[in-house]
Structure 1
Amino acid sequence: MFAAPGHRRKGVACLAVAVLVLLCFNTMTLEWIVMHKDMAFFASNHGPKPTTASMVENESNPIVHVTGIALLQSTTSTEMPTTTPSPPTTSAPVAPTPTSTTVLPTPAKSTPSPPTTLPSSQPTTSAASPRATPSNLPLSTPPLETLGFETVAIVTYVPDKHVKFVNQTQHMLWSSWNYSIHHVDPRARGRTDLIIFAHRNVMEEMPPSCIRLDHPALPPVPSSNRDRCFVVEQTPAADNYWHRYGFMFSLLYLAEPAFQPLLMSYDRLLRTDTDVVITPAFLTFRPRQFVVGRGGYMYHDYTKARIKELAADINMTHQGLHSVGSTWFGNATLTLQMVPKMLQVAKFILDSPKYNVEQGFPRWHIGVTSMYAGELVVNHFIPKDNVWVNSASLDVYSNGIEKTDNVYHSHCWPGSSGFFTKSEYEDGEYSVDKFPRESLDIAVIKDYFMAMVLYGY
C-alpha cells in the first residue's frame, strides 16, 4: 500500500519540476499581455510611423510649389522626427523643412529693372559721357552724339590791310582743317567744308588749293563727299556803316542776301575767327544744342545788370545766359536769322547816348559791342536749354594742356603766357629751329597748335 522510499523521492522531484514549468508559462503569458497593451497604448497616442505616401502628400503643399523646391527627394533619405512639431501660430499650412533646404516666401510682383544699356534707337548725350570718335567706332556707325552725317561749313572773314589775318588763315585755320579732314575717315562723318570770305585785296594770298567762287549765288554741287575749301570775295563799300566798328565785318557777310544760297546749302555753320585751329574731333561733333564758345568779357554783376537793362530797352528777352562767345556752331538757318538782328543791336549800342559810353573793360567797354550784341540775340532767339556755352572744348586756350582728343576748337587768345601765344607768334618767336617737329606732342593742344602753325601736320 505504501511505495518504497526510493520511489517516493522520485515522485516528489517530478512534481516539483512540473510546478516550476507551470509557473514559467504563466509568467510569459502575463508579460505578453502587458506588452500587447503597451503597444496598443503607444499606437493610440503616437500613430503609425510616416510612410512614403504621407511624404508625397506633403509635396503638394502650396508653399513648396510657389518656391519651386521639391521636398520629396530631400526628405526620403532623412529620418522623420518621432515627435510632432509645435503647431504654427496661424492656420496656414506649413511644409516640413529639412535643414539643408531654404523655403522662400511667395515672391511679390515687381517692375522689371531697366536695362543697363540704352536701346540702339536712343543715342547717348552728356557733358559727363565720353565723346565718341572715329577711332573707337565702326566706320559705318555715326558718333553717338550726332544727328547723322550732316554737312558743315566753317566760315570766317579775312579783312584788308592786316597781314596777320592772312597768316592766321593760312597757318592756323586752313592748316588745321586740312590736317583734320585727312585724319578722319569720310565714311565716319559728314562733309566739312571751309569757306573763306575775303576782301578782294587779299584774295590772291588765300591758300592756293581753295576753289575761288565767282558766283556764290549758285552753290557748287558736290560730286562726292570730299571736303573742299572755297574763297569768296566780300569787299565792303567805302561808305559802309561798319567802318566805324570794323569787327562787325567778320559777321556782315552772313547777312548778305547774295551769299544765302551758298550758306543755306549746309546743315550747320561754324562761325569763327581766323586765329584758331580745329581738331579732328570736330569733324564728328554734331551736338543737339546750339553751341557757343568762351566769351571772356563778362566779369561784373554791373555788366550783367546793364545787359539786361539794354534787353528791356529794345524789347528783347534775356534768359540769364552770359559770356556768350563769338564762336557759334549750330543750325545754318537759325544762325543766318540771328545775324541781322545782331547787327541791329550793335548799331543801337553805338548810336545810343546811354550805352555808347565807355566805362572801361570789363565794366562796360565799347570795344566788345559785338559780344554784347551776340549775347542778346542768343538769349532772345534760342530757349536756354537749347544753348550750350561750351568753354571746355570750344575757344580753348592755345597754351592749354588739354588732350587734343577732348578739344574741338582752340583760340589764340591775347595776353597768354607760355606757348602757343598770339603776341610771341606775331613777334616771330616761333620757328622750326626752336620747336623741332619731333619735340611736339600733338596729343596736347598747345603742341598741336604749334605743329599746325609751323608744319601743318
Structure 2
Amino acid sequence: MRRAVVIFVENQRDLMLQFGCLYTSLQYIQSKDTDLVVFGPQDTLQKLPDDCVKIECPPLSDPPVWMNYRFINSLSCLVSDHSDVLNQYDYLLRTDADTVLTPAWNSFYPDQYTTGQGWYVNNQDVSTNIKRVAHSLGLNHRGIHNIGSTHYGPPELVREVCRLAVSVTHHILTEEFKDQHGQWPGWYRGVASLYGGEIAVNHLVERLNPDRQKLDAFCTSQESIRNYPHIHFWHTFEMFSKFHFSEGYYDHFRIDHIDIDPIRNYCLYIALKSRREMPWLG
C-alpha cells in the first residue's frame, strides 16, 4: 500500500509556512506508506526538504486566460506534465497546503471516494446556479453540495475529477464572472474552483462519501485528534488561526507545555514545531 498527499506550493511566505506545518505533521505521525508530493515552480521546490517528492510545475494561473485565479493551481497540477507519476500510488489525498495530518491518518483507508467539507452553498441561488452550469455543460448533478476541496481516493479517479474540475472552473470564470465577481456568501468568483469540483464529483463519482469528520476538520475544534485524520486551517481568528500563526502571535508558547490531544492544540503544537525546525520557510 502506497499513498500520496498531493499539494501545490508557490514561493509566498504564508504558503511556505503552511507547507511547513503539513510536512511537520507527516513527520510527526511517522506514516510508513505516505509520500508528500509537492508540485510548484523550481525556485519554490529548491527550498523544500529533499524527502518530499518534488515535481516542477508552473502555475496554470499565470496565463491571462485564467485571470490570475490562483486557486486553480492545486487542481491543475494533478493533470499537468509529469503528473502521471501519481498513478503509482494506491490512494491520493488531494488537499491544500494549509492542512495537517494527525496520527489517525495511519489507519484511515476508506473503501469509497471520500471528500471533506465545504461551506460555499449558502443559499438556494448558489445551488440553482451550480446545477444550471452543470446542465448547460451536459454534466449530471446529483444534488450533493458543499463538497470540500480535499479529495481522497484512487489516483485515476482523483485525477479525472481534477481534470474535469479545471475545465468547468475555467467555464465558470469566463462565462459567469467575466464582468463581475459576485458577492460572498452568494454566487462568488472566489470559490469558482469549489463549484467546479462539486460539479466534477457529482458527474464522475458514483460511490461518494462526503465525510465532514474525517477530512477538512475544523482547526478550532476542541475534540480529540484521535477521530480526525486531516485538519484544515479554516479562515478564523480563534485558536488555532493560521493568520495569527503567520503574524507571530503564538511565538511565546512553549511547545513542551501543550496538551496535543485537542485538535486546536495539536495544530498549535505542529505549527510551532515547524517554525522551530524550518525557520527558513518564513
Per-residue CA deviation, residues 150-188 of structure 1 (Å, 9 max, x unaligned), is 31100101123x111111112x1000001111xx6x4xx
- Name whichever structure is richer in strand by fraction: 2
Q: What SS does structure 1 have at the residue aligned with 2:121? A: coil
Q: Which has the higher contact order (CA 8 A, sep 6+)?
A: 2
Determine the structure 1 residue equivalent to 2:246: 426
How far does the alpha carbon of each residue in 1:377-417 deviate from its partner, in whole angstroms, 9 at most, with x for none? 0000012xx21111112111112111010111111111242
Partner of 1:330: 153
Q: 2:174 aligns with which of 339, 351, 354?
A: 351
| Count of residues in Structure 1 that have an aligned counterpart in Structure 2 | 274
Match of 2:78 in 1: 254
Counterpart-to-counterpart distance in 2, 1:266 and 1:240:
34
Name stretches of at least 5 consecutive residues in structure 2 with no aligned partner: 278-282
How many angstroms apart in 2 are the aligned matches of 1:446 and 1:408? Answer: 13
Aligned equivalents of 1:251, 1:167: Cα separation in 2: 20
Give 1:350 deviation, angstroms: 1.4
Equivalents in 2 of 1:425, 1:438: separation in Å? Answer: 17
The answer (yes or no) to whether the contact 1:308–1:318 under 8 Å persists in 2 is yes
- CA shift at 1:239, angstroms? 3.4
Could you tell me how far apart the structure 2 residues matched to 1:360 and 1:371 are? 15
- Identity in percent: 30
Report Cα offsets for 1:313-370 as digits up to 9, x if no partner.
Answer: 1111010100011111111111111222111101111121588643311110011000
Q: Contact 1:154–1:270 (CA<8 Å) still a contact in 2?
A: yes
Q: What's 1:404 paired with? A: 225
- Residues 356 and 366 in structure 1, CA contact (< 8 A), matched pair in contact too: no
Q: Is the 8 A contact 1:319 1:379 kept in 2?
A: yes
1:415 alignment counterpart: 236
Q: 1:275 to 1:354 in 2, by over 3 A?
A: closer
CA pair 360-239 structure 1, distance change in 2 beyond 3 A = closer
1: CA distance between counterparts of 2:134 and 2:63? 29
2 CA distance for matches of 1:168 and 1:317? 35
Distance 1:334 1:257 in 2: 18
- Which amino acid counterpart does residue 174 of structure 1 have in structure 2? Y
TM-score, normalising length: structure 2:
0.91
Task: Say whether 1:263 aligns with 2:86.
Answer: yes
What is the match of residue 36 of structure 2?
A: 194
Matches of 1:201 and 1:368, distance apart in 2 = 28
1:437 Cα deviation from its structure 2 partner: 2.2
Q: Aligned partners of 2:106, 2:119: CA distance in 1, in Å?
A: 25
- Amino acid in structure 2 at the alignment position of 1:179: Y
Give me the whole-angstrom Cα distance separating, in 2, the residues matched to 1:251 and 1:243: 16
Aligned mate of 1:276, from 99, 110, 120? 99
Rounded Cα–Cα distance in structure 2 between residues aligned with 1:413 and 1:379: 24
In structure 2, distance between residues paired with 1:354 and 1:397: 30
Q: Tell me, yes or no, if the aligned pair for 2:222 and 2:264 is still in contact at 8 Å.
A: yes
- From 9, 23, 42, the counterpart of 1:174: 23
What is the rounded CA distance, in whole Å, between the counterparts of 1:195 and 1:258 in structure 2? 12
Q: TM-score, normalised by structure 1?
A: 0.57
Secondary structure of the equivalent of 1:174? helix
Helix, strand or coil at the partner of 2:82: helix
Q: Distance in 1 between matches of 2:66 and 2:82?
A: 19
Q: CA deviation at 1:244?
A: 2.5
| 1:151 matched residue in structure 2 | 2
Question: What SS is found at the alignment partner of 2:170?
Answer: helix
Gaps of 5+ in 1: 1-149, 211-228
Deviation per CA, 1:128-162, whole angstroms, max 9, x where unpaired? Answer: xxxxxxxxxxxxxxxxxxxxxx31100101123x1
Q: Is the 8 A contact 2:237 2:244 kept in 1?
A: no
Point out the structure with max Rg over C-alpha: 1
